[in-house]
Structure 1
């Protein structure tokens, strides 16, 4: 499995920054960008999901915290 000189050369050749920039711009032109309405809809969906997850984690944290204090005796008012 030997490399041909042209294959070896193509692996070591570097792209100039100008060519790289042109290729990036060409790829970005192929992207289908969302409309403003889609962007607002996606934003609302993501924010609603994040808020639900925050509420879920907060409730679980509170419940597990109370359970741990109940099991291990977290009541400090009985201490002398």
Structure 2
């Protein structure tokens, strides 16, 4: 199986993490290192094109509609079974 190079941390981040382990830093230095690592990870994010975004949105909406229909169908069937077993409630 091929390895994804995108998911691997860059050498700079790894070197900073090793240096962090070797030397104890203060809370502000740790916060600064964390923010640097967050920014480095955000630079790797690839935003989808408009066509991809519309495609993903359509897939999600269709999936949600199918799941709603499935749950509604199960609910209706179970309601029929419960009504058959216990009868209709007296007013």
Deviations 1:36-56 (A, max 9, x none): 211111011001100110011
> Structure 1: where are the runs of 5+ without partners?
1-6
Query: How many residues align structurally?
Result: 70
Q: Which runs of 4+ in 1 moved over 6 A?
A: none
Which of 33, 55, 65 lines up with 2:47 in the alignment?
33
TM-score norm. by structure 1 comes to 0.69
Instruction: Please give the per-residue CA displacement for 1:47-66, whole angstroms capped at 9, x wherever unaligned.
Output: 11001100110111011111
Indicate the residue corresponding to 1:45 in structure 2. 59
Question: What is aligned with 2:21?
Answer: 10
* Cα deviation digits, residues 5-24 of structure 1 (max 9, x gap): xx9x8275465322221211
2:90 aligned counterpart, secondary structure: coil
| RCO comparison, higher one (Cα < 8 Å, 6+) | 2
Unaligned runs of 5+ in 2: 1-17
